[in-house]
Amino acid sequence: MKFLLISVPTPGHVNPLLSLAIELLEKNHTVEFMVSEIYIEKLKEKNIKNLILTSNGNVGFDQTFFSKMTNSTQESLFQLMFTVKNFALPRILSYLDAIVDILSLKFKVEKYDSLIVDFILAPVTSVADIFNVPVIIYNPGVTPYGLYDPDAFSFPSWSYYLTPEMDFYSRLKNFVFKSFTEVIIFNLLNYKINDIQKKVGLNKTTRLEFFRKKLVISTSLPGLDFPLPRFPKMQLTGPCLNLKSNLRLSHELTAWLDDPVELPVVYVSFGSIGASPKHITPMLNSVFQSFQKQVRFLFATLALSQVQEVEKYKWSTNVRLEMNGVPQLNVLEHKSHCGGNSMFESMHFGKPILCIPLGADQYTLANRVIYVEVGSAILTSEYDFENKLENLIKLILKNAKYKKNAEDLGEWIRIQNSCSMQVNLIEASGKNLTKFLFPKQIQPNTQFFNFDLQFDVNALKAKKNSLKVKECIMSDLSSEIVKHNSNAVNFVNNFKEIGEFSDYEDNFSKFTSGFSESVKFLDDSLNNLKEKFEVTIESENFYKEISERIEKIPIEK
């Protein structure tokens, strides 16, 4: 069989799909791997026999979506807006546009048994539909809520981060980011995607397209994903990891790991493209030093900005710096930010995880880690970050349940034999055998699972002002949330009347104004809380300041 695999050009998406490509090659299938030019050279260096590499342009997403989060919510939102304005939307749209053009020509002259495409690039699958090329959606990570049953579309999305440990104010701030990124940005993105679709005579793409595909593979697994209804064509297989990599640890690092000193080793990594916010680097230094005779830390990074920041400090003798990165699988085999690859690799080898999410899906990945009790998480913006981080490291190292749960989950992942399972499903779909996997879907009642109203259960247990807190949650905030959702949706639905989003210079101020208005409820709610319960907020004119700063962002042509 002949397969065309298309990946998003960032390590968290390339690596899982590449592992699948290697497995398909070992079963003697023909595999073509399409990705941005910046990754073609990297893949050539791996010398993967018989893998056909195809470029689809020069777009890269590395270090694009990772906002430099700070303690200040205003700064975080400002950076998020800058990223969206100058990088995220233009790059995503450019990448999708290039793929649509390439596939429109490629499918006319070449025949494929299946197109296997990253779920973020799902809009391009409509081109395959025109040429009757079967489509398999590949989701490298835990299942985004958009891939669940249609009744579940109102559930919290991949960008949502809620844990019992978060205080009331943290949940409110989190809701702002969820609303901003999900309700507005992705709706605006959809408008431009639909314009791309029209080039090949297609109607607009909706989430229902997922339900029409041959198969949807999610590299999550039962027990890690929340117990929510999934539509039948989705299969949870667990992660396919390339354990046959020819990368090896250096002799120096191997010797350091094998040091007879009986101290636990904590592996610290913010991923291949991520970098910890600058304000926490000195705090990491201080925390590591506090464990001088108790724990050793292996701190690895590839991100240039991270390297430059780390080199400013003098680190204690229990810290080993690897500023050129390390073969992570080898280190884990011999605790992490919470990118998909890091999380699954840690779990495969039964290692507990302390997550410091930076962006994208890392927040919900951290939430799953807490959910299955294989570790914990801390936000870089949390008050008293340094002390909380130190206490969490002690907790995970001393509490045996985290190690036991991680080992059990790792055993479950290995039993699944995920790579073989994925290949078997793909081969079955090519022979139209997967129809036996998919029973008729029963539409369950799932609306009770609505996190938007569950801000802080712990607040209801408070002895002081518990009735007032409950009254505030159920009246003021709930009504404002409903108003907010309505305003945001109306704003997005009417966006075409405002103008084309591609004209950033002229229309971004209107977009900003709409955003500020649609989430203004938080200002009112926080002021209300401040008066009733003495909750501290960062600014009386929170969104006004944000809007003014966004207006001053330079446009990068």
Determine the pLDDT at residue 343.
Answer: 65
pLDDT above 80: residue 144: no
Backbone angles phi, psi at 234, to 5 degrees: -85, 130
Average pLDDT on 210-230 reads 71
In the chain, what are the helix, strand and coil shares in percent, each to the nearest 5? Answer: 55, 10, 35
SS (H, E, C) 83-126: HHHHHHHHHHHHHHHHHHHHHHHHHHHCCCCEEEEEHHHHHHHH
First to last CA, the chain: 43
- Neighbouring residues of 151: CB distance < 8 A, sequence distance ≥ 6: 229, 443, 444, 445, 446, 447
Q: Is the distance from CB of 148 to CB of 229 less than 8 angstroms?
A: yes
Residue 393 has pLDDT above 90, yes or no: no
- pLDDT of amino acid 110: 93
| pLDDT of the residue at 557 | 44
**Domain extents in the chain:** 251-414, 451-551
Lowest mean pLDDT among 34-38, 69-73, 218-222: 69-73
The pLDDT value given to residue 443:
39
- What is the reported pLDDT for 52? 94
**Quick one: average pLDDT of 145-166?**
43
What is the predicted pLDDT for the residue at 97?
Answer: 82
- Which one is predicted more confidently, 372 or 500? 372
Per-residue model confidence as pLDDT tens digits over 83-130: 555 566 667 777 888 888 889 889 999 999 999 998 878 778 878 888
Arithmetic mean of pLDDT, 322-329: 64
Q: Give the DSSP per-residue string, 191-259.
A: HHHHHHHHTTT-----GGGGGGSSEEEES--BTTB-S--B-TTEEE------TT------HHHHHHHT-
Greater model confidence, 51 or 93? 51
Residue 276's pLDDT is what?
Answer: 58
CB contact set of 386 (below 8 Å; sequence gap of 6+): 283, 286, 287
CATH of domain 251-414: 3.40.50.2000
CA distance linking residue 461 with residue 496, whole number of Å:
46
Given this model, what pLDDT does residue 24 score? 95
β partners of residue 236: 218
Burial class (CB in 10 A: 0-12, 13-18, 19+), 368: buried
What percentage of the chain has pLDDT greater than the value 70? Answer: 46
Instruction: Report pLDDT digits (tens) over 330-387.
Output: 555 544 444 556 667 777 777 888 887 766 667 677 777 887 888 888 777 676 778 8
**What is the rounded distance in angstroms from the CA atom of residue 273 to the CA atom of residue 68?**
13
**At residue 22, does pLDDT exceed 70?**
yes
Contacts of 497 (CB under 8 A, 6+ apart): none
- The pTM (predicted TM-score) of the whole model is 0.67
Q: Phi and psi for 118 in degrees, rounded to 5?
A: -60, 140
529: tokens are 């809380």
Mean pLDDT of 154-173: 47
Average pLDDT over residues 60-85: 51
